[in-house]
Amino acid sequence: MKITTKTDYAVILLTSLASAGDRTLSLERVATANGISEAYLQRIAAHLKKAKLIEPKLGAFGGYHLAKPAAEITLFDVVGAVGDSLYTTRCTAPNGTCPRHDTCDQADCWGVFQNKVTTAFASTSIADMTHEKTS
């Protein structure tokens, strides 16, 4: 399993917004501060907005802020919002795409591992990922 840049940058955006507290941040500011393409960050922000994880504030001093407390946004939510997957092997994918699934001795072990990965992502919040541990 590899964390994609979409998920990585989404977490960077969300932790930046969490650290900003009540202030809004522009995508330009977050992109510049983190060496990320602003255009790419805009596409990621669109996914996060659609998933109701962030909200825009329009106007001269506009930008984005979290749509709910950072403690209520999990890494599992983020991965799903940007369209990534947490599946570690083909046999743990939703449709069991591995042709050897029914006869594989390791399928159960990978299933246990998959559950641990999913649990870790579902129990880690954006607040956990910030230095300030904001809520």
Report pLDDT digits (tens) over 51-67.
999 999 988 888 999 99
Give dist(CA 51, CA 63) in Å, integer.
17
Q: Of 10, 18, 78, nearest to 40 (Cα)?
A: 10
Check residues 101 and 35 and name the one with the higher pLDDT.
Answer: 35
**Count of H-run helices and E-run strands, the chain:** 6, 2
What's the whole-number average pLDDT of the chain?
89
Report pLDDT digits (tens) over 2-15.
789 999 999 999 99
Amino acid found at 74:
T
Give percent above pLDDT 70 in the chain.
90
What does each C-alpha distance from 38 to 25, 30, 135 come to in angstroms?
Answer: 13, 8, 26
Report pLDDT digits (tens) over 26-44.
999 999 999 999 999 999 9
Domains of the chain: 5-129 (1.10.10.10)
